[in-house]
Amino acid sequence: MLVADLVSKHFIDAALPLGESAQFLPGFIDIVTVHNTGAAWGIFADSQVVLIVLSFIFITVFVWLMFAEKAKNPLFHIALGLIFAGSLGNLVDRLAFGYVRDFLHFEFWQSFPVFNIADICLTIGVIMLIIYFIISFVKKSKKKEKIEKEN
């Protein structure tokens, strides 16, 4: 996913001037080149140092979690892998260019921010991680109830 993110950003940047757009899936998604100096929805705009430091912290935490968590559940590891790839893809942009190269835009939802493959990875990874923790919590609760009933 990291390679897909960086390669897609490279080709879109090379093919389409900044601010220009092109139809991709008519009525659904178009391609528009945007240089984002902030995070989602432009929060922390022009705060590259803060965003770079936060990216390093998140990446470190996710790598630590991958090795510290004894979970054999593939959902957990896929979620962390997606979050890691997304964080690293946007971090590479911030370090190399001082902004993140975004290019995907929903035509039917004009107010939704322009995004990239790294953002998709982050979103799906976070949703998967939340699902993993909910499942784990439910399993632990049921196990605890079972133990209490046996005693």
Catalytic annotation, residues: 102, 119
C-beta separation of 76 from 82 below 8 A = no
What is the maximum alpha-carbon separation in the chain?
69
Q: Are strands 21-25 and 100-106 parallel, antiparallel or unpaired?
A: unpaired
> Token pair 């008519």 is at which residue?
26
Task: State which amino acid sits at residue 62.
Answer: F
Centroid of chain to Cα 150: 43
Spatial CA neighbour of 114 closest among 11, 29, 8: 29
Tokens of 12: 């879109």
